[in-house]
Every structure is written in structure tokens, then in C-alpha cells.
Structure 1
Amino acid sequence: MARHAFESAADPTLSPREKLSLVLRFLFLAPPQILLNVTRCYTLALLRGIPLRYFARCALNRFALSLPSRLIQGLLPSTSTAYARWIHVRTKQARKRSTASLADQYANTQLKCDIEPLSDGKSSLLWVGDRTQATKFVYFFHGGGYTVPISPGHLEWCLRAYVAAAASAGGESVAVAVLQYSLCPPAAYPTQLQQAAAGLAHLFESGIRPRDLVVGGDSAGGNLTAQLLGYVLHPHPDVPKITLREPLAGVFAVSPWVSARTDWPSFRTNGSIDMLSPSFLGPAIEKLLGGGASNYEVEKREGKGWAMPADVDTEAWFEGLHGIVKSMYITVGGQEVFLDQCVHFAEAIRRGNPGLDVRFEVVGHEAHDWIMLEGGDMEDGDAMRRMRAWVAGAFWGQD
């Protein structure tokens, strides 16, 4: 079963011409483009009086995301392969550390590879934490524009913010189910929603109660979170219906991608300092949603916001969310292109659900997805600590 899950998410095989193109891009395009990106990011950070840390990473990621999606997927390991490698490397690292953090202690003694294939044969749940012993659960969707596999930073985030954080919660334990979903291309909307819904149904069928479950993700994973919420409120014709018998413990969205528009003002103000740019998002939108006759365009004209809820009447679309979620955490960086759409998204949810506990943060010095970058550096930074505090409140009333 696990072998099938690995094979179904195999890396694309690049042709000799594609391999040559990749080499030429790194030899001739990468140096000047990365230098330009670093210069822009650092100059703007200095002018805006914000710390420089991670902005070099923004510049590198900006170049990497400018590559065609097929080259990115051919260069990087698939999500399931990246997960297995991370488990192996992380346990070895933990054993070598003389002063172990809670995350290191867990990785050294309990971290193991655990993959549950889902019914479509193309998606899986990749577990971080022991699902057989856990009393609380997180259902996690990774970002990457639906074209990039998971990164070690995502998995370290899950370990540090959720699994290791449970050590201070009176003996309770947390396990994270990371959805390995199909990437674009060839998969397109609503494939990922179908897989996310199937994973949610599987968790409920395994005995997990909504009150013990937090759902969320970053960037495209934040989009998939919003898709899933919209689907629970408004059943999708192409996705089997799920009815919650009680509200979820919580939902989080980090730098969520909730609009297909690239004309929000923050695209102009932050387009040269953030890791994301219209040159990446334009092709990603086309691959995910298709052209003018796509399901997305039809749904948008009808006011249905499954795919991109900030492109319809967001307040009306999410009215009633307080009945299916107890607590919500939305965070966005003040230096990212998604700033305006995230503000619109959070404020619309608040207006439409006055009884819902919504924590919304605009963090001035951060750009896109800072918590993932902290995870990549294996550190408990400010974004990681804020997430840990929120999830403790959602699960155990601590904050």
C-alpha cells in the first residue's frame, strides 16, 4: 500500500532537452536574476526599517518559482519522497544534538514514517506524530502554488508547532495528517478539493471527532483550507457531501491564496520584496483554474466561491462558518503580495460571523509564509511561537 502511494506521486522524468534547459537557466539566468532579487529585497527592507533575515531566501525562492512547473517538479522530490527523506534525516540530526529541544527529543525517540493511501490511489495522509496514541489531530495542507511539492520547512513546522508543543499540555499528544495531494499539471481544480474532502472523511471514519481536529495550511494550502470550509457550508456538485456533527476545534490559514486577481494594491507595493510575483502566480492560476470557460469562471459568475472565495461576495459565502468552526487564526505578512486579499478575507469572515473567534494578524516585518522559512531553519521563531500559542488555545484553552 505504501509503495503504491510513493509510485503514484513519482517525480516527472525530464527529457534531455529539459535537463539542458535547467542547466542553462542555472548557469546563465540564475546569477544575475538572484543578484537583482537580493538587491531589491535588501534595499526595500532597509528603506522600510525591517530586519533583513529571510529576505535573501525570498530572493532565492523568487528565482526558483520563476522556473516552469515541470522543471521544478523534476528537480525536487515528490511530496511523499520528501516526507520519507525528512523522517530519515531528522531522526539522525536529533541523535547528534547534545542539547535537544522538545522537537529533537520527539524526533529521536518517536518519529517514524507512516503513510496512509487514500481511496483515489493518488493521494495519501503522511503522518507526523503517532496517530495511534494521539488525542488531538491537525489536518495540514502544504503550500507551493499547487505546483511545488512539500518542503522540509513544512514538516518541521508540523513537528515544532503541533507535535512537540503537546509536551506542555498535561500529557496529551498531537499527530498531524499531512495531505499529499496531486499537483498541477496535470491535476486541476477541483481535484485537490476532492482529495482534501476524502482525507477529512477518512479521519472522521477512523474515529477522530471534529472537536479534536484543527485544519489548516499555508499559501495554496490556505486556499485549500478555504475551499474545504466553503464546501462544508455549500456542498460541491463534484465532491461527496460531508456533514459535521459538531464544530471543528479550529482552522488556521497562513498567507492564504484566496483570489485569482493580481491587481490588488499590495502586488504593487510588495511585488519587489516578496518571494511571490505575478510571473509565478499567473501560470499557477492558469494551471489550477483553466481559461475563461473553466469551472472557476462559471462558479464566480454564479457567486460560488469554492476555488477563490475573495473573488465573490466573501462575507455571504462564509456566513454560517461559526456553526462549523470554534476558532480561526489567519496571519499574513505586511511585506507580501497577498496582504490585501488576506485582509479582505479575514474582515469578511468576521463581519459575516460575529460569534466566531477570529484571530487575525498582519505582521509588519514578515513577507510570505515566514513560519515555513523558520521551519526550514529548524528554529522556534516568532511565527512558530504564535502558531503554537494559538493551537494550544484551540485544543486546551491555553494561550
Structure 2
Amino acid sequence: MADDDPTGVTGEDPTGVTGDDKTGMSGDDPTGMVGVRLMLGSRPRPVGWAARRQRIEEVGTTWPVADDIRLEAVDAGGVPAEWSTAPGAAASDVLLFLHGGGYCSGSIVSHRSLATEAGRAAGARTLALQYRLAPEHPFPAALDDALAAWEWLLASGYAPDRIVVGGDSAGGGLALALRQVLRDRGAASPACLWLVSPWTDLTLSGSSMTEKDAADPLLHRPYLDELAAAYLAGGVGRREPLVSPLFADLRGLPPTLVQVGTDEVLLDDAVRLVRAAGAAGAAATLQTWPGMIHAFPLWNGGLPAGREALAEMGRFVRRHLD
């Protein structure tokens, strides 16, 4: 998620939903989104990086990881990471997952339910990366860590055309930046990219930044502006293609699936990216999900649309791996 969680949820029940049913799928809420919105609006926004980081972990773990997932901590080229494996995952195939959080929050823990179920859908092992966060570690620290993990996978014997790179929000932007570095080095690209609500424009110039502000419970311009400033503390311009891949040369982009909700301020970041990729002759597919919010597959445990999005991702990935 590009935002940490704004809910202010604390205590043993991070959902803000009362009773035994925390799915958000009561008879009058078949999409589950009412329950998720209630959860996200149940507390004030946290203040400070530490509180924001704690909050995104609380909300991201609302639904537990499935019992059949096997987890293993690993050092991926000097970067903390976690393997997750669902039954039937192909040993040769990897999803390199880059979490969201606006480059300033988010973790393996906060995005574990998304990363693990994405691997299940893709039929691949997932390597979730704990890249360094701003403002302590501004650009290019996160990109350097993603590149280190990529090189570690290759050194471990994984073929580039058996690796999928994916992420949500800032993680989606980071996945695109990693691909740019590989292309500029003349290195092989991943088999395909999977981007959920990608943050592709740190200039915040998309019209949905204003048009969707009232609908989006997570992201708003002032907060995104704060995140961008923290990430680019070294003075890098916001139109730099490695931080705003919307402005990158997208020729030769590997097959890319972009998934986005209609109720998020970053809607135009996704739409314009796919349009630019098409203009560059690249194969990019856009899927929009009515009524869904930023990084909605994160709550796939309670959102049927989140599970449907992961199923679509799985079909896309398997098509390009097979």
C-alpha cells in the first residue's frame, strides 16, 4: 500500500469489526468493501513513521496467512527476505514480491497475506523482500535492494524467464524501476510484471488525484507529497524515470498486468502507465475493479474481488511462464 494504514487501530482486534464475523461479508455487504472501509475509518490517522509502520502491520494482518503456507526467512543478497510456498508451487518458478507502503512503511509481515496468496495463484514460490525504507534510507536504497535480490536469485540458479516481479503501490513502481535498470544494463528481463495500484507518478499529476479524493479512504495528496519528499530526500527530481516510471522509456517492457480499483486516487497512475506502454509498443493489460480501493487484494481474505484479482493474476502469470 502506498499509504500506511490510516485507521489508528490498536489492541487485540485490528479490524474494528465487532462480533465473530470479520469477513465484512454480511448479507448487506456482499462485496466485503463496507467492512473494509469501516475498519480503515475506525481510528484516527497515526502520526510519525514508527506509528505508521506499526499500523500497516496491524491492518495488513487482519486476515491470517493460510495454514498450508510454508514460510522461511532468508538472506537474499544481503537483504532480509522470506520465502513462502503453497502446496503445488513449482520449484523453478519465483514471484519476487515488493511490498507497498510509499517507500516509507510496509514490510514482509504487513503484506504476507497478499504475497503468499499471490504465489499460490501463480503456482510459484514467493520471495517477499524487506527492502530499506525512507526517510532513513532514501532513493536509491530500495532499488538497490531489489536489484541485489534479483541478482541473488540468478546466482541461486533461477532463470530470468522463470521469475515474475510484482508489487503493490510503491512496490509496483519499484518493480518497474528494477526492470529499467536491467534493461539499461543489457540484462535479461523477468518473464512478466504484476502491478497492483502502482504508484508511477511522484509528481502527483493524475486527474484522479482530485477526482477520487473523496472516494479513497487511504490516500490523499498531502500524505503522498510527504512520502515522495521523504523518499527523494537526496534531491532527486520527481520526474526521474527510476522514481516515476510513468515518464520512463517503456519500449521492451515485458508482458505486464496492472490491476487497480476505481475508488483510488492513483487510478490515473495505472491508466496512464498502460496507455504509455501501449504507445511504446509494449504488451500491458489493465484490469479495473469497480468500487475497490487502493491495493484491495491486500485484504483478499475478506474481499471476493481481491481473490478474483489474484485468480486473474495467476492465469496471467502461468500463461507467460508456460
TM-score range, shorter chain: 0.7 to 0.9
Partner of 2:111: 154
1:294 and 2:273 are equivalent in the alignment: no
Count of residue pairs the alignment pairs up: 293
Rate the CA distance shift 1:378–1:185 in 2: closer, same or farther, 3 A: farther
Partner of 1:361: 287
Rate the CA distance shift 1:287–1:61 in 2: closer, same or farther, 3 A: farther
AA matched with 2:308: D
Identical pairs, percent: 22
Of 267, 277, 283, the match for 2:226: 283
Partner of 2:97: 140
- TM-score normalized by the length of structure 2: 0.79
AA matched with 1:57: V
SS of the equivalent of 1:140 reads strand
What are the within-5 Å matches in structure 2 for residues 1-399 of structure 1? 53-58=32-37, 60-61=39-40, 67-73=47-53, 90=65, 94=67, 106-107=68-69, 111-119=70-78, 123-129=79-85, 134-150=91-107, 154-163=111-120, 166=123, 174-234=124-184, 242-245=185-188, 247-274=189-216, 275-290=218-233, 294-296=235-237, 300=239, 304-310=240-246, 312=247, 314=248, 317-321=249-253, 325=254, 327-353=255-281, 356-375=282-301, 381-396=307-322
With 264-273 and 145-154 compared, the bigger mean Cα shift is at 145-154
SS of the equivalent of 1:114 reads strand
Alpha-carbon shift at residue 185 of structure 1 (Å): 2.1
Query: Does the aligned pair in 1 maintain the 2:162–2:191 contact within 8 Å?
Result: yes
Alpha-carbon shift at residue 51 of structure 1 (Å): 6.8
Give deviations 1:180-217, integer Å, cap 9, x for gaps. Answer: 11112211111100111111011111111011110010
What is the rounded CA distance, in whole Å, between the counterparts of 1:378 and 1:127 in structure 2? 25
Query: Does the aligned pair in 2 maintain the 1:128–1:163 contact within 8 Å?
Result: no
AA matched with 1:220: A
Query: Does the aligned pair in 2 maintain the 1:142–1:154 contact within 8 Å?
Result: yes
Unaligned 5+ runs, structure 2: 1-7, 11-15, 17-28
Unaligned 5+ runs, structure 1: 1-24, 28-33, 35-49, 95-105, 167-173, 235-241
Rate the CA distance shift 1:306–1:165 in 2: closer, same or farther, 3 A: closer
Alpha-carbon shift at residue 261 of structure 1 (Å): 2.7
- TM-score normalized by the length of structure 1: 0.65
Query: Does the aligned pair in 2 maintain the 1:153–1:378 contact within 8 Å?
Result: no
Query: Does the aligned pair in 1 maintain the 2:168–2:197 contact within 8 Å?
Result: yes
Alpha-carbon shift at residue 385 of structure 1 (Å): 1.8
Alpha-carbon shift at residue 278 of structure 1 (Å): 1.6
Query: Does the aligned pair in 1 maintain the 2:32–2:303 contact within 8 Å?
Result: no
Alpha-carbon shift at residue 59 of structure 1 (Å): 5.7
What is the rounded CA distance, in whole Å, between the counterparts of 2:92 and 2:9 in structure 1? 47
Higher RCO, 1 or 2 (CA under 8 Å, sep at least 6)?
Answer: 2
Alpha-carbon shift at residue 254 of structure 1 (Å): 0.6
Query: Does the aligned pair in 1 maintain the 2:134–2:230 contact within 8 Å?
Result: yes
What is the rounded CA distance, in whole Å, between the counterparts of 1:231 and 1:65 in structure 2? 36
Give deviations 1:73-122, integer Å, cap 9, x for gaps. Answer: 356669xxx99xx9xx74xx73xxxxxxxxxxx33xxx133322533xxx
User: What RMSD in Å do the two structures reach over aligned CA positions?
Assistant: 3.3
AA matched with 2:72: C
AA matched with 2:257: Y
Q: Which has the higher helix share?
A: 1
Give deviations 1:303-346, integer Å, cap 9, x for gaps. Answer: x4111122x3x4xx12232xxx2x21111111110111211111
Query: Does the aligned pair in 2 maintain the 1:153–1:377 contact within 8 Å?
Result: no
